[in-house]
Amino acid sequence: MKKNNIRKICCIGAGYVGGPTMAVFASHCPYIEIKVVDINKERIDAWNASDFNNLPIFEPGLDNLISNQRNVNLFFTNELEKSISEADMIFISVNTPTKTKGVGAGQAIDLKWVESSARQIAKYSKSHTIVVEKSTLPVKTAETIKKILISSHDFENKENKTFSVLSNPEFLSEGNAINDLQNPDRVLIGGDDDNAIESLSSIYLNWVPKDKILKTNIWSSELSKLTANAFLAQRISSVNSISSLCEITGADIAQVTKAVGMDSRIGNKFLSTGPGFGGSCFQKDILNLVYLCNFYKLEEVANYWQSVLEINNWQKSRISRIIVNYLFGNVSGKKIAILGFAFKANTNDTRQSPSISICKDLIEEGAHLSIYDPKVENYKIEEDLADQEIDNNEFGTWEICPSIKESAIKSDAIVILTEWKEFYDINWQDLFRSMRKPSWIFDTRKCINYQNAKKAGFNIWEIGKSPLINK
- Within residues 142-171, the interface with ligand NAD by CB under 6 A covers 170
Sheet holding 8-12, edge to edge: 74-77, 33-37, 8-12, 89-92, 129-133, 163-167, 187-190, 213-216
Q: Count residues contacting ligand NAD (CB under 6 A)? A: 26
Task: Tell me the torsion sign for CA atoms 115, 59, 345, 356.
Answer: negative
Closer to ligand NAD by Cβ: residue 17 or 345: 17
The DSSP code sequence of 130-161 is: EEEE-S---TTHHHHHHHHHHGGGGSTTGGG-
Integer CA distances (angstroms), 158 to 125, 208, 355, in order: 10, 36, 51
270's contact among ligand UGA, ligand NAD, none, with CB below 5 to 8 A by partner kind, is ligand UGA
CA dist., res. 463 & res. 193, Å (int): 50
- Within residues 336-355, the interface with ligand UGA by CB under 6 A covers 343-344
Closest residue by beta carbon to ligand NAD: 15
Q: Cβ contacts of residue 236 below 8 Å, gap of 6+?
A: 270, 274, 276, 277, 282, 312
Q: Is 279 in the site for ligand UGA (CB under 6 A)?
A: yes
Closer to ligand NAD by Cβ: residue 220 or 388: 220
Q: Is 96 in the site for ligand NAD (CB under 6 A)?
A: yes
- Within residues 108-147, the interface with ligand UGA by CB under 6 A covers 136
Taking CB under 6 A as the criterion, the residue among 33, 38, 133, 174 binding ligand UGA is 174
Taking CB under 6 A as the criterion, the residue among 4, 27, 117, 224 binding ligand NAD is 117
CA dist., res. 367 & res. 53, Å (int): 33
Taking CB under 6 A as the criterion, the residue among 93, 312, 370, 439 binding ligand NAD is 93
CB atoms within 10 A of CB 355: 29
Q: Is 40 in the site for ligand NAD (CB under 6 A)?
A: yes
- 397-400 and 368-372 as β-strands: parallel, antiparallel, unpaired? parallel
Is 281 tagged catalytic?
Answer: yes
Of the residues 29, 281, 359, 447, which is catalytic? 281
Closer to ligand UGA by Cβ: residue 86 or 443: 443
CA dist., res. 49 & res. 215, Å (int): 38
Q: Is 208 in the site for ligand NAD (CB under 6 A)?
A: no
Q: Cβ contacts of residue 319 below 8 Å, gap of 6+?
A: 275, 276, 354, 358, 442, 444, 463
20's contact among ligand NAD, ligand UGA, none, with CB below 5 to 8 A by partner kind, is none
The C-alpha R_g of the chain, in whole angstroms, comes to 24
- Within residues 207-246, the interface with ligand UGA by CB under 6 A covers 229, 232, 236
C-beta of residue 171 within 8 angstroms of C-beta of residue 276: no
Binding site for ligand UGA (CB under 6 A): 136, 170-174, 229, 232, 236, 270-272, 274, 277-279, 281-282, 343-344
Binding site for ligand NAD (CB under 6 A): 12-18, 37-40, 43, 93-96, 113, 116-117, 135-136, 170, 172, 174, 280-281
Which amino acids are annotated catalytic?
A: 281
